Amino acid sequence: KIVSPGGNDPKILEDLKQEGDTVAQFNHPNIVTVFACGVVDKNYYLAMEILSGGDLKQKLASGTLDELKTLKIMKEMSSALAHSHKRKTLHRDIKPENIMFNDEGRAVLLDFGIAKAQGKVSEFTRIGAVVGTPHYMSPERALGKEIDERSDLYALGVVMYEMLIGKKLFEGEDTFAISYAHVHEPPPPLPKDKAALQPILDKLLAKSPDDRFQSADQLTVILDKWIRRLERNNSQTTQGFVPITVKSKSSKLIITLLSAIIVAGIAFAAYWYFTKEKIEVENNKLSTEMQFEMSEKLTAANRFRKMGNLKNAENLYKIVLTKYDCNNADARQYLGVLNKKALNEIIAQCKK
């Protein structure tokens, strides 16, 4: 790959080389292998592996993918993003053309051409030489706001929709119309035969980053569970599974009651745990599943706090800090308001 920016600005070429160097440091089966990169005669070059299986856009030109294949590609891409995000690099241009396949059929993410190391803004991206693709742009990016890992996950959700439905999430006459839809319009629902995957898509395509999966690792855990479920049933489709839909008042009531029971159970467990004995911090090394569990408990704690149920919120914040991560900033902040003494006791036991 050779890039010749307009004007051959030395600063742009240097920024391109720095970004290429970042990608060259990745070592992941679902991220393209870069062998060398540099600048020769004011031209930027990138030498990378050959991917003979074509790209996802070409595959979609032949029709939609079944759910199992879609989920497997999604898992490979979420794993790739988890790898780059842990190295503080956002992709910022997730789209079918940038997902290619090797001769074994494995999905590979490439073209980090507008990738950005978090906390650093390159001259190349700042001047607007590359702005990403409007069809896959997150609401916060369309609004010009600061973005993080969750913006990449939104774009991946748009790709998931396209794999399942065969068309783009939002269409429009121009970039403004498409961007407006990403910011304001609800995503079209999946058809009934694929509705079981609606909760995953809803979470990926939430307008607020806080309502999405908070990391690619969280997404990978969910995708892996679905893939194993389909493979156990020797099925390519989720049509045989009961979809989670909320259409009638009765179904809304059932889901509300079930949610209340689950939340009440969590609250009771938290209350029991903190009344039976003194606070003890475990300092666990978190697995991906434990990280997801912690995220769920933080969400429940925040919900209790906003509802004014401060005791349950306090107990859940304590669980987050003692059972999962004693350095969690959100839990520390809110527990400090609710029970400063308990927070100080936890901090005293927390390994720095």
pLDDT in tens, 22-45: 777 788 999 988 777 777 776 777
Q: Is residue 199 part of a domain?
A: yes
67 and 184 assigned to the same domain: yes
Given CA atoms 9, 146, 154, 150 in this order, what sign does their dihedral have?
positive
210 and 261 assigned to the same domain: no
Q: Is residue 22 part of a domain?
A: no
Q: Is residue 169 part of a domain?
A: yes
Q: Is residue 124 part of a domain?
A: no
Known catalytic residues are 93
Residue 87: C-alpha distances to residues 17, 149, 304 (Å)? 17, 11, 34
229-283 pLDDT, tens digit each: 888 877 777 665 543 333 334 444 544 555 555 555 555 555 555 444 456 666 6
Residue 347: C-alpha distances to residues 208, 275, 336, 344 (Å)? 31, 19, 11, 5
Q: How many domains does the chain have?
A: 2
Among 174-178, 217-221, 304-308, the minimum mean pLDDT is found in 304-308
Q: Is residue 85 part of a domain?
A: yes
Among 77-91, 226-240, 304-318, 324-338, the minimum mean pLDDT is found in 226-240
Given CA atoms 20, 25, 26, 29 in this order, what sign does their dihedral have?
positive
pLDDT at 105: 92
Q: Is residue 78 part of a domain?
A: yes
User: How is residue 55 annotated by DSSP?
Assistant: B
Residue 173: C-alpha distances to residues 176, 177, 179, 180 (Å)? 8, 6, 11, 11
Q: Is residue 1 part of a domain?
A: no
Residue 189: C-alpha distances to residues 61, 192, 197, 212, 304 (Å)? 22, 9, 10, 17, 30
Q: What is the DSSP string of 290-322?
A: HHHHHHHHHHHHHHHHHHT-HHHHHHHHHHIII
309 and 336 assigned to the same domain: yes
CA 207 distance to own-chain centroid: 13
182 and 257 assigned to the same domain: no
191 and 329 assigned to the same domain: no
Of 206, 232, 258, the domain-final residue: 232
185-208 pLDDT, tens digit each: 999 999 988 888 999 999 999 999
320 and 273 assigned to the same domain: yes
pTM of this prediction? 0.65
- Whether 335 shows a pLDDT value over 90: the answer reads yes
Pairwise CA distance, residues 255 & 203, whole Å: 17
| Mean pLDDT of the region 94-109 | 93
**Of 170, 136, 167, 172, whose CA–CA distance to 154 is shortest?**
136
Query: Is residue 352 exposed (0-12), middle (13-18) or buried (19+ Cβ within 10 Å)?
Result: exposed
Structural domain harbouring 289:
249-349
pLDDT at 241: 55
Q: Is residue 12 part of a domain?
A: no
Are the CB atoms for 334 and 317 separated by under 8 Å? yes
pLDDT at 266: 55
For 147, the token pair is 């973005």
- Whether 179 shows a pLDDT value over 80: the answer reads yes
CA 232 distance to own-chain centroid: 26
Strand intervals (E) in 52-115 = 89-90, 99-101, 107-109
216 and 259 assigned to the same domain: no
Number of neighbouring beta carbons within 10 Å of residue 246: 11
Of 199, 232, 265, the domain-final residue: 232
**Of 128, 143, 88, 133, whose CA–CA distance to 111 is shortest?**
133
212 and 63 assigned to the same domain: yes
